[in-house]
Structure 1
Amino acid sequence: MENLNYISSSQNPKLKRILQLQEKSRNRKKESIFVVEGQREINLLLKANYSIEELYYCEAFHNKDNLARFLSKVKIHYSVSKEAYQKIAYRGSTEGIIATVKAKNHDLNKLEFKTNYPLILVAEAPEKPGNIGAILRTADAANVDAIIIANPKTDVYNPNIIRSSVGTVFTNQIALANSIDVIAYLKENQFEIYSAILQDAVSYLTPNYQSKCAIVVGTEADGLTNEWRLASTQNISIPMQGEIDSMNVSVATGILLFEAVRQRSI
């Protein structure tokens, strides 16, 4: 009798769907489903209360000692042949486990804070998945209360973002909105706004970040839009010691966030 939970062909419609979800943002948005590969990433999304739709695994690659634990948490799962699995594996060195996962709602009004003085990071219009992933890793390391991506240009469930963030796209509380709505939200909720803008700026060491505040960063190419210049409580900058006047946005984000963390630990 044919095993209905075993997939041997890469032409199987379920595997073709996985490839479509990996490759096309419009498919992910239409279905509100995305694809995650890797044991660490799947562990993190389960910890963050994401819901797995289906799990696909290849016993030739996956650690059998961990397999039973994953299968016990998912109702629908399929064993995939080595040849078929290699067609859907996104990584060069796979761990033999892939999940389709239900996306979360990232509306601003869904943000929840456990402290009276939350620290928010706002990143306006980041595009490069590598930079976004690095920003998410930094935000996780700094334990910010939320990340807001203003004027988003890239789907947060892009496989390259998931991979470069090492799964911290799941550990961070993330909201998506346009800059006008984000500014309105911050002002309505009485956040101090510290925008990384060179003009009329003070050193990033000057402000008091122990209050309820948002640190706002833009892209290296364009910086922040004028809305943030007008809304800012204070513009801040990182003094440069060399010949150039800017640095990678993820590096700058780390410097700014960890100054806030330092102040809050005093």
Structure 2
Amino acid sequence: MKEITSIQNAYIKNLLKLQEKSRERKKQGLFLIEGKREISLAIEANYEFDTILFDSDLISEQKVLTLFDSTINYIKISREVYQKLAYRDSTEGLIAVAKSKDFSLKNIQFSNNYPLILIAESIEKPGNIGALLRTADAAKLDAVFIANPKGDLYNTNIIRSSVGCLFTNQVATGSSKEIIDFLREKSIDIYSATLQNSNEYYKEDYKKATAIVVGTEATGLSEIWRTEATQNINIPMQGKIDSMNVSVAAAIVIFEAKRQRGFKI
């Protein structure tokens, strides 16, 4: 089994590029996953792995070999190399190099006639995207669409903040127009969270095929989502501000939709 002990190793330097640069992830079709839980969720989602790196002081070689297919490349790394690659100390000494998937709308399949979908437009902060993916997983949504994405979803910070929920959700990306066309083709109602020309969210019926759309806290949704919506919705607030964290707002509306569909809260 190959062993790497130096952070100056060319392969390790390339992995650091994959961590830091979206361009390299897209060019090579690879990305990094850190931690047993996140890697296990990627396995369940049928991701293919190129290489498994492990710190044998934290996880035994025997344990690693029982977790993965024998055809995968394995590299034993030193503590120094592991600490250079790892974002946190609590990931059990395990890092996977995985092959990217295509987040195209054409790959989306619904298992029922009344899907419930979350759409997030132009969200920049990885932490917010991660929180939205966790909310979607908690509610067991049928899909999450990222409209007009500001980066690629294999950003290490998104994987980490989503606690691996990037792999537990059915995810697609596209322009706002492409996603709206998809929704129209599938006869899915659009409920856009915005203050303009809106009704209180709890007054709407989400039992039909439904897409709930949220935008950035700073600028909200673009005009196309406001004008193409089946209905614009708002969350009444009693304080002095008129906005809240996007993942919190999404969760409020999503779980109202789940309540209407018979989920007991």
Structures share fold, TM-score greater than 0.5: yes
The answer for the alignment partner of 2:44 in structure 1 is 47
**Displacement of 1:64:** 6.2
Root mean square deviation, CA, Å: 1.4
Task: Give matches, 1:188-207, under 5 Å.
Answer: 188-207=185-204
Counterpart residue number, 1:180: 177
Q: Is the 8 A contact 2:55 2:77 kept in 1?
A: yes
Q: Indicate the residue corresponding to 1:240 in structure 2.
A: 237
1:136 aligned partner: 133
- Post-superposition CA distance 1:45-92 (Å, at most 9, x none): 000001011100011122667423224455211111222222222224
Matched residues in 1 for 2:76 and 2:204: separation? Answer: 55
User: Are 2:263 and 1:261 aligned?
Assistant: no
Secondary structure of 2:261's partner?
Answer: helix
Residues 115-157 of structure 1: CA distance to partner in whole angstroms, max 9, x if unpaired? Answer: 1111111100000011110000000001100000000002111
How much does 1:200 deviate? 1.2
Measure, in 2, the Cα distance between the counterparts of 1:63 and 1:223. Answer: 48
Q: How far apart, in 2, do the equivalents of 1:43 and 1:66 lie?
A: 14
Quick one: distance in 2 between partners of 1:240 and 1:74?
Answer: 55
Match of 1:151 among 145, 148, 168: 148
Query: TM-score, length-normalised on structure 1?
Result: 0.95
Query: Of residues 22, 31, 36 in structure 2, which corresponds to 1:34?
Result: 31
Normalised by the length of structure 2, the TM-score is 0.95
1:8 aligns with 2:11: no
In the alignment, is the contact (CA less than 8 A) between 2:198 and 2:231 conserved in 1? Answer: yes
Separation in structure 1 between the aligned mates of residue 36 and residue 16 of structure 2, nearest angstrom? 19
Deviation at 1:93, TM superposition (A): 3.5
Q: Does 1:87 align with 2:53?
A: no
C-alpha displacement of 1:16: 1.1
Paired residue total: 263
